[in-house]
Structure 1
Amino acid sequence: MEKSYKITLTILLVLLAGLVFLEANQREPINWFKSYSQREKIPYGTYVFYESLKEKFEVKDVNIPPFEFLKDSTKNGTYFFLNYNVSLDKAEVSKLLKWVARGNTAVISSNYISASLLDTLKLTNKEKISKNKIVNIPLYNFTNPSLQNENFYEFNRDQPLIYFDSLNNHQKVLGIGKIKEDTTPPKDSLVNFVENKYKKGKFLLHTSPQTFTNFFLLTDNNYKYAEKFLAYLDSDDPIYWDNHYKRGKSIFTSPLYIILNNKYLKWAYYFVLIAAILFILFEGKRKQKSIKVIEPLKNQTYDYTRTIAGMYLDSKDYRGIANKMIDHFIILINKKLKVDILKQKNKVELLQQQTENSTEEIEKLFSKIKEIQIKTAVKKKDLEELNRLIIQFKKNI
């Protein structure tokens, strides 16, 4: 390895080590992602609520879509949906309505509940945002005097209040909410939790899923809100906990998800990638000896021809050379000009028309050919003259 490479590599390694040191000693930022996953211990995870739920109820995880789960008619109990958005499609809503009609309970706690379901139950919702305050701090409570708290439960984060703005005789108000220190209309507490009877069963619709997050339940005595909410559920029935409609993953399908969610594993992974790149840059060059370039074989036809010609000249076989020159000339005329010299009587006229040679030059060439063919002994001078005339003829083709 060259000296410049070593210096560059050392500088990169020092910078990398410094970066890793700074990152390792940096305080990890709070993750405010609205996961609602029972596995997550981040503020918007539901680990605390889920573990408390398992202490009082028989909880079964459902990792498939509702449409598939509700195909099994033997499943009875409470179907619990908890997420930022529960967007059931029409087919799933139809299945869920039939399931509830048999005497089961569906709990949906979400800021945005499926419009198809709300239309079926003849409900609408709205969003309340204070116009005279920058931050909206929502407050929650129950309507039942035995469950109602003296002071509202406070969610100390900026959050709009989602509420039901139209009710009918099928709904019973169970919970209310309002914005802290808000003076804009509507000023009164707004409905955020209702019970909707449906044939033999019921829907419990709740528009404030953040009240079940780790952040909310671990603040002051807010855990009591979740305890009172569970009073509306039958403890004898199993709870089917939905994991399909979750913003956070409940099942890790990729090993990278686990690695990248751990601070130390993540940086170890990055370090390996960087080391691999550096190795390719500095050690990836070919270290074997250079391969000798083998030149392709040369076309030695010309040299071969010169050698053969030299042999004829050395043996002074001028007639043999002259006959071969005449044969090659005749073949050339046949191929290139399509004139058969041996058969055509007007060959001179034909060649004069197809080439730029004069009649005198053509007749002189054929006279020389005829002379050599008649002679008993061909001299070197005759051979040289024939060669000159053929070359002159070829130039004017």
Structure 2
Amino acid sequence: MRHSYSKSSKKPFGTYTAHSMFRSKYRYSQIEILNKPFYENLEYPLGSKQSLYAVISRSVYLNDRDRDAILEYAAKGNQVFISAEYVDAQLLDTLDLNVQYVAMNSLFQQVDTAGPMRQTSVTVHRQDSMKAASYGFFYLPFEAHFVRPDESNALVLGTNDEGSPNYISVVHGNGRFFFHLNPEAFSNYYLLSGQNKKYAEEVFSYLPAERKTVYWDDYYRIGRSPNKNFSLFDVFLENLILKWALLMSLLLLLLYIAFASKRRQRAIPIKPVNSNASISFVETIGRLYLQKKDNQNIAHKMTTYFLEHIRARYYLNTAHLNAEFFSSLSRKSGVDETEVKQFFQFIQQLQEESHEVTDTELLEYNNRMQQFFTNKYEIRSTRYG
């Protein structure tokens, strides 16, 4: 089911309920909806003080200008609330924060689990002396959490059902950032389950009670790339030397087409491809496994081969599959970091003992692995990365 987090959507993973609660909290403030990148909103009206910027999205990725702008915005005394499954890594790194998105400790361990979905819950630390309440629903476990946020002078405001911090605040300049890693907790599906509306109220209670202006972001929610307006030709046109190099290359290409294209070459006979006995042997063994329907064993061998490929090609240690590993693999392979994490989540699911691997999943596994191997950025990144 699509996680739209749209303020006007009443579907399970829309945020109509959360947005209504937010407007109720700031009913005396001017509330504006933003539909442009953060940098383009900075001069006006986001340049003023005593305002709040809020975004609930699946992911928030920023380019350099947007990242600098949002840091400057907070430093001036404004507040920033971000609830997203994946937050821009460089923004977190600037604030000295580290996030562990996926628990991969069971990738090669046969763990007895009841399945990927279960009763999961979250908790907000109360500001009074009362005991914190736990709010839950039946969904995928909220595994994303901050790693040792106290070392970065961050204040832990909430935790997941494992007791790991998933909601924190950190001071920046004269303002403050609020980071929440489970946007599903603000979906209609979650807030309309039991007494879960109180969870959003407790989360929002840490935000300033009064703000002159409140901005609800609707740009990053759609999942736009931070480089949406970026063109490769912009790099050449902004640099005089590269611009002339491009023009000369185009001129030489036109000359080649005009003169060299008239050259004729005799037909080259087709040479039969030599047979490879090792490939035939592998195909025979593969058919034996398929006949036995031992999909679990095949998936395990594919995983072993895939990890060996990563170690041999990218020189990465696969013993600890954590956020640093995902970031390094994404940088060296050219594959988007979100896709890398999702692929390893899929691998983890296939490795679970209680999970019966179907033919469809096995075929999907093979196709996704091949797409990873043939990524168009892979050759470039392995040569220079």
**TM-score when scaled to structure 2?**
0.51
- 5 Å-filtered alignment, 1:1-397, equals 32-57=1-26, 58=29, 59-72=31-44, 73-74=47-48, 76-129=50-103, 131-133=111-113, 134-137=115-118, 138-144=120-126, 146=128, 151-167=133-149, 168-178=151-161, 188-237=162-211, 238-247=213-222
Q: CA deviation at 1:159?
A: 4.1
The alignment's C-alpha RMSD in Å is 2.1
2:153 counterpart letter in structure 1: H
Q: CA deviation at 1:149?
A: 5.7
Q: Which residue of 1 aligns with 2:278?
A: none
1:148 to 1:45, Cα distance in 2 relative to 1, 3 A: farther
CA distance in structure 2 between the partners assigned to 1:149 and 1:140 by the alignment: 14
SS of the residue 2:220 aligns to: coil
SS of the residue 1:239 aligns to: strand
Identity %: 28
Q: CA deviation at 1:128?
A: 4.3
Q: Which residue of 1 aligns with 2:305?
A: none
Cα deviations by residue, 1:195-254 (Å, 9 ceiling, x for unpaired): 1001100000110111110000000000000011111112320320000011389xxxxx
SS of the residue 1:36 aligns to: coil
CA distance in structure 2 between the partners assigned to 1:170 and 1:95 by the alignment: 22
1:191 to 1:246, Cα distance in 2 relative to 1, 3 A: same
Gaps of 5+ in 1: 1-31, 179-187, 250-397
Q: Which residue of 1 aligns with 2:287?
A: none
Q: How many residues align?
A: 209
Cα deviations by residue, 1:134-163 (Å, 9 ceiling, x for unpaired): 224431001235387654211311244210
CA distance in structure 2 between the partners assigned to 1:114 and 1:205 by the alignment: 11
1:219 counterpart letter in structure 2: S
1:147 to 1:125, Cα distance in 2 relative to 1, 3 A: farther
CA distance in structure 2 between the partners assigned to 1:149 and 1:46 by the alignment: 28
Gaps of 5+ in 2: 225-385
CA distance in structure 2 between the partners assigned to 1:208 and 1:191 by the alignment: 11
1:153 counterpart letter in structure 2: Y
Q: CA deviation at 1:65?
A: 1.0
SS of the residue 1:156 aligns to: strand
Would you say the 8 A contact 2:57–2:183 is kept in 1?
A: yes
Q: CA deviation at 1:170?
A: 2.1
Q: CA deviation at 1:52?
A: 1.7
Would you say the 8 A contact 2:169–2:178 is kept in 1?
A: yes
Cα deviations by residue, 1:25-81 (Å, 9 ceiling, x for unpaired): xxxxxxx21000101111000001111211221321111111101122236411001
1:102 to 1:248, Cα distance in 2 relative to 1, 3 A: closer
* Larger Rg computed on CA atoms: 1
CA distance in structure 2 between the partners assigned to 1:213 and 1:108 by the alignment: 14
1:142 counterpart letter in structure 2: V
1:49 to 1:92, Cα distance in 2 relative to 1, 3 A: same
Would you say the 8 A contact 1:141–1:148 is kept in 2?
A: no
Q: CA deviation at 1:164?
A: 0.5
1:171 counterpart letter in structure 2: A
SS of the residue 2:205 aligns to: helix
Would you say the 8 A contact 2:124–2:132 is kept in 1?
A: no
Structure number with the bigger relative contact order (C-alpha 8 A, sep ≥ 6) is 2
Would you say the 8 A contact 1:37–1:246 is kept in 2?
A: yes
SS of the residue 1:85 aligns to: strand
CA distance in structure 1 between the partners assigned to 2:75 and 2:223 by the alignment: 30
CA distance in structure 1 between the partners assigned to 2:65 and 2:223 by the alignment: 24
User: Greater CA deviation, 156-165 or 88-97?
Assistant: 156-165
SS of the residue 1:45 aligns to: coil
SS of the residue 2:23 aligns to: helix
1:197 counterpart letter in structure 2: V
**TM-score when scaled to structure 1?**
0.50
CA distance in structure 1 between the partners assigned to 2:4 and 2:129 by the alignment: 28
1:177 counterpart letter in structure 2: N
1:107 to 1:98, Cα distance in 2 relative to 1, 3 A: same
1:150 to 1:235, Cα distance in 2 relative to 1, 3 A: closer
CA distance in structure 2 between the partners assigned to 1:247 and 1:132 by the alignment: 37
CA distance in structure 2 between the partners assigned to 1:139 and 1:108 by the alignment: 20
Would you say the 8 A contact 2:142–2:182 is kept in 1?
A: no
